[in-house]
Amino acid sequence: MPDTPPHYDHVGRALSRIALAAVFVSGGHHVWRHPDGPAQGAETFLKRCRRAVPLLDRFTDRQLVRANAAVHVTAGAALAAGIAPAACSAALAGSLVPTTLAAFPFWTQPDGPQRAHQQGDFLKNLALAGGLLAVIVHGERRTRRTSG
């Protein structure tokens, strides 16, 4: 199979970054503006985190949820713009872990529609993490241009 022409490869990577980033920018913006629901949903998870990391006691659940939303918006926007894509992807992947564990603990739910819904959302976030990992691992390939 022939290699993709460098121009198309660059466009494909840019579109992939924008598609990934859109989820984080949109979701982060929504949580920033409306943090109370997510903060309430994260309460149990954050209690466990505070036992492990007492420094978190300095912050309310709402502040922690908003800080995570700020990471999603800023790193997502930078990823879309192609600014330090590997670093932005790493920040987003790191922030996706607590987001996913707090929001979609399907393993705590009895069998039924709620568990299935949470498991589906958990798996969607796992797929996002896979996309971010691809950005980190593959980076931006530099094409060598020859004159003439």
What local confidence, expressed as pLDDT, does residue 1 receive? 53
Q: Counting beta carbons within 10 angstroms of the beta carbon of residue 105, is it exposed (0 to 12), middle (13 to 18) or buried (19 or more)?
A: middle
Domain-located, residue 133: yes
What's the structural domain count of the chain? 1
What local confidence, expressed as pLDDT, does residue 138 receive? 85
Domain-located, residue 17: yes
CA distances from 13 to 29, 50, 74, 110, 123 (A): 24, 39, 19, 40, 23
Q: Counting beta carbons within 10 angstroms of the beta carbon of residue 19, is it exposed (0 to 12), middle (13 to 18) or buried (19 or more)?
A: exposed
What pTM was estimated for this model as a whole?
A: 0.85
The confidence band for 97, taking pLDDT boundaries of 50, 70 and 90, is very high
Domain-located, residue 6: no
Per residue in 17-59, pLDDT tens? Answer: 999 999 999 999 999 999 999 999 999 999 999 999 999 999 9
Domain-located, residue 123: yes
Query: What is the span of the domain harbouring residue 96?
Result: 13-144
The more confident residue out of 140 and 53 is 53
Domain-located, residue 8: no
Distance, in Å, from the CA atom of 89 to the CA atom of 84, rounded to the nearest integer, reads 9
Indicate the SS3 state at residue 24: helix
Domain-located, residue 94: yes
